[in-house]
A and B are shown apart, each in its own frame.
Chain A
Amino acid sequence: DGGITQSPKYLFRKEGQNVTLSCEQNLNHDAMYWYRQDPGQGLRLIYYSQIVNDFQKGDIAEGYSVSREKKESFPLTVTSAQKNPTAFYLCASKRTGNTEAFFGQGTRLTVV
């Protein structure tokens, strides 16, 4: 079955540690996205990538980093520089030129 997979579903980390969230898709989509969702604020764009080895900052990129070494994979690293990292993180992908984005099931990150 084609789809987009995020792992893990729940993640706990100590303050000051970097953590990497995984996102893999087998839909052959060119574009991939990372969003952060906080209560009452909807989805905010962190980073997006339209092609392998290229990515752009979204609206809230500070304290995050990404890589796009393969078309299928777009991991997100939450660094210790991110002031308030506890949130629900959503990865999405879509075919360039299409309107529909497909979302993963999300990773809930809690930093203690």
Chain B
Amino acid sequence: QKEVEQDPGPLSVPEGAIVSLNCTYSNSAFQYFMWYRQYSRKGPELLMYTYSSGNKEDGRFTAQVDKSSKYISLFIRDSQPSDSATYLCAPGGEGNFNKFYFGSGTKLNVKP
């Protein structure tokens, strides 16, 4: 069983739509949950992270963690063409936070 499962997409939405990106994970010891955004041919950049269960909001982005079901989500409100990228979830936190596991990434395309 993979540590992290993520639907690879691609996901295509019109500008202004609400986007929901999701991952499931298998290790109940994970404490930190990261979302990275990766533009084409670039390295990933940290978008948001949450600790344990709950929600965290940052502008148009909301990260949500449900540890009971091992399910993590990223919501994007009022999506923009500049949001078009691949989004990778990365739960982890074991071993003094030195090891994280990345999902396969969901490719998002926001059409103008």
Contact = CB atoms under 8 A, between A and B. Distances in A.
Contacts of B32: 99
B97 A98 contact: yes
The contact size tier of chain A is 20 to 34
Contacts of A40: 8, 104
B8 to A, nearest CB: 5
Contacts of A96: 96-98
Interface stretch (B13-21, B43-51, B56-64, B68-76): B43-51
Contact of B105 (A42, A101, A105): A42
A35 interface: yes
Contacts of B93: 99
B53 interface: no
Nearest to B36: A103
The DSSP consensus for interface residues of chain A is: strand
A2 interface: no
B46 A101 contact: yes
A97 B44 CA distance: 20
Contacts of B34: 99-100
Contacts of B8: 40
Interface stretch (A11-19, A43-51, A70-78): A43-51
Given A42-B6, A42-B104, A106 B96 contact: no
Interface of B: 4, 6, 8, 32, 34, 36, 41-46, 49, 88, 93, 96-100, 102-105
11 contacts: A6-B43, A41-B104, A96-B96, A98-B97, A99-B93, A100-B34, A100-B46, A101-B100, A102-B46, A103-B36, A103-B43
